[in-house]
Homo-oligomer: A and B are copies of this chain.
Amino acid sequence: MSVSTKMKELRQKLRENQYKLTPQRQMVLQAFLDHPNRHLSAEDVYSIVRDQSPDIGLATVYRSLELLSEMNLLQKIDFGDGRSRYEVAESGATHHHHHLICLDCGQVKEYDDDLLEGLEASISRKHRFTIVDHEVKFYGYCSQCQAKRDHEG
């Protein structure tokens, strides 16, 4: 649970896959550790990392994000806003959280999911489809924006 746990995981997984441990890759992962509960886009990461290391290239950020996702250190998510976003992947394989996306302010809330595991099994059987992952998004209005809407009629 210490700050360096994920970083050690990075070190180890890079070695396993014969990739090199570069400062850029560490910095990209660190950006996520420094901004928990956020869903950073490539540009977000670029701007965070550039504060510390102005010479880093945006392409390197993209390449690092892809690599970290392949190694399951990051999870790529798509909120339909035209750019990919990423978050630190949960270690436990199947049990992850999903998102409540506000259609007004764009805020993304997380919610923990337990209820879909059973559903998976029945769908899997019924459709002869081996399910390895699922993704659930709820669209609506957060309490603030809902209040706003109530006022405006």
Contacts and interface: CB of A to CB of B under 8 A. Distances in A.
A132 B120 contact: no
Stoichiometry, copies per complex: 2
Interface stretch (A19-27, A48-56, A139-147): A139-147
Given A102-B129, A134-B136, 9 more contacts: A100-B123, A109-B129, A129-B142, A130-B141, A132-B139, A132-B141, A133-B139, A134-B137, A135-B136
A132 B140 contact: yes
Chain A interface size, as a band, is 20 to 34
Contacts of A90: none
Contacts of A102: 129
Nearest to A140: B131
